[in-house]
Amino acid sequence: MLDYRMQTFLTLCDTLSYHQAAQRLHVTQPAVTQHIQFLEGAYGCKLFTYRSRRLEKTPQGRILEQYARSMGYQERDLAQKLRAGEGRDLAVGATKTIGDYVLPDRIRRYLEEPRNTLTLIVDNTEHLLAMLDDNRLDFAVVEGFFDKRRYSSRLYRKEPFVGICRKGHPFAGREIGVEELLEQTLIHREKGSGTRAILEQTLLARNESFLHFRRDVCISSFRLILHLVAQGVGVSFVYKVLADSDPSLDQFTLRGEDIVREFNLVWPLGADIDEKIRWFFGEENFPVDKSGAALLE
**Amino acid making up residue 280:** F
Measured CA to CA, the distance from residue 245 to residue 7 in angstroms comes to: 44
Predicted local confidence at residue 85, as pLDDT: 60
Predicted local confidence at residue 32, as pLDDT: 93
**Which regions of the chain are under pLDDT 70?**
1-2, 76-77, 79-87, 284-297
- Bridge-partner residues for 159, per DSSP? 261
| DSSP output for 146-191 | --TTTEEEEEEEEEEEEEEEETT-TTTT-EE-HHHHTTSEEEE--T
56-83 pLDDT, tens digit per residue, is: 999 999 888 888 877 777 776 676 666 6
202-227 pLDDT, tens digit per residue, is: 999 889 999 999 999 999 999 999 99
Predicted local confidence at residue 87, as pLDDT: 67
Predicted local confidence at residue 2, as pLDDT: 66
- Pairing verdict, β 89-94 and 215-218: unpaired
What are phi and psi for residue 194, nearest 5 degrees?
-65, -40
Reported residue count of the chain is 297
pTM: 0.67
**Amino acid making up residue 74:** Q
CB 107 within 8 A of CB 118: yes
- Pairing verdict, β 117-122 and 175-176: unpaired
Domains located in the chain, CATH noted: 4-64 (1.10.10.10), 67-157+262-281 (3.40.190.10), 160-260 (3.40.190.10)
Predicted local confidence at residue 288, as pLDDT: 45
